[in-house]
Chain A
């Protein structure tokens, strides 16, 4: 019962946490670039403004895809805080990713189409890494259940250091941050305008953004499994992880999808396999 309450609270609070994190992200980015930057509550203003704008959805399929993406992102957060199965969460995450790609593909705009194709390649790149990382949790603890993994008596980071790095790759791609922001260009760079987000506008864009905040919270929640023994250790690990993401976002240029596949697969899968050998040999 308490788990259910926790999960419901998490679903309600997650967008606020995600918005605050992205506000802090923008402030840090501005600080790195020697600017003042927008206030930390800026993402809230953006979303309320977008929700109040005229609805110009290209077609009705796009609306369905946006809702599926949002609901699947909410479900992943809900199931995680419920202490559910990591594999189930992974499949629901995939449904959301596919719905997002379908939404971009439903519009005939070439920018949206290119963004959708690139998003598909991104999904192809990070999915095996996430799945094999979850298998790494299983190899150490003997369970896919989040609530069981959280009760493990020592931090999993000591057993899974390379999987932590590989998951870092996967989740940078999932967060669409540089150098892997190839499907939806982020800041000022407009080679593909806004990629898979080009044809979303007004409330639809707001829902996509809210779903993305849920994803940020989910990703940080997955990273929290690496140090679930103490709250302070977890907080420090999450701060360092996300700070590293922001730094990498700021110091790298956008890669091509060929580079992404050719680099992330060998490096990520290699690290995961070495970590497997390390676990199984103990």
Chain B
């Protein structure tokens, strides 16, 4: 009974307080600006409890933008590994989802999911802030399925 209550409390608070870290794997800056727009007073992601923390050790959601290549794949994996569980990954924009128009380039791996497990894909080039917020909130719902 008590354990059930604690589990429910933990799940509720995870959904209510996701902190995000954002990594730009060399994007054209379009997705980054749209991501940052979510934090401005216009969209105000903080009303859902989302804070941008800039430190993977404090984060729950990992937002990835840009093309993943042979040079930055280590950084991507490193940042992901520093996040304490439970964590979810949101891939934002075509480049991060699949490589986008750079997919055939010799140095491009083709999507962040080649390196780390991606939970939510937000399509677009760049995606609208509304869809990024939707992606983040869909990711938050995944905490309900995660093991506590």
A residues in contact (CB < 8 Å) with B: 26, 30, 33-39, 42, 44-49, 51-56, 188, 190, 193-194, 197-202, 205
Contact = CB atoms under 8 A, between A and B. Distances in A.
Given A35-B44, A35-B46, A49-B13, 16 more contacts: A34-B41, A36-B44, A38-B48, A45-B13, A45-B17, A47-B13, A48-B13, A49-B14, A49-B16, A52-B13, A53-B84, A193-B55, A194-B55, A197-B58, A198-B57, A201-B84
B33 interface: no
B9 A48 contact: yes
Nearest to A53: B84
Nearest to A194: B55
Determine the interface band of chain B, counting residues with CB < 8 A from chain A: 20 to 34
A38 B47 contact: yes
A205 B48 CA distance: 21
Contacts of A55: 84
A193 B49 contact: no
A83 B45 CA distance: 44
Contact of A42 (B39, B49, B85, B148): B49
B33 to A, nearest CB: 15
B90 to A, nearest CB: 18
Interface in B11-47: 12-14, 16-17, 39, 41, 44, 46-47
Interface string B118-134: 00000000000000000
B17 A46 contact: yes
A39 B47 CA distance: 7
Contacts of B54: 188, 190, 193-194
Contacts of A38: 46-49
Interface of A: prevailing SS: loop
Contacts of B101: none
Nearest to A198: B55
B83 to A, nearest CB: 9
A30 B53 CA distance: 17
A48 B17 CA distance: 9
B47 A194 contact: no
A84 B57 CA distance: 39
Interface string B41-82: 100101111001111011010000000000000000000000
Contact of B44 (A37, A42, A54, A190): A37
A37 B46 contact: yes
Given A33-B41, A42-B49, A45-B49, A52 B57 contact: no
Residue from B10, B47, B58, B85 whose CB has the most chain A CB atoms within 10 Å? B58
A201 B44 contact: no
A45 B53 contact: no
Given A49-B13, A49-B17, A199-B57, A35 B148 contact: no
Contacts of B41: 33-35
A205 B85 CA distance: 14
B47 A201 contact: no
Contacts of B12: 45
A30 B48 CA distance: 13
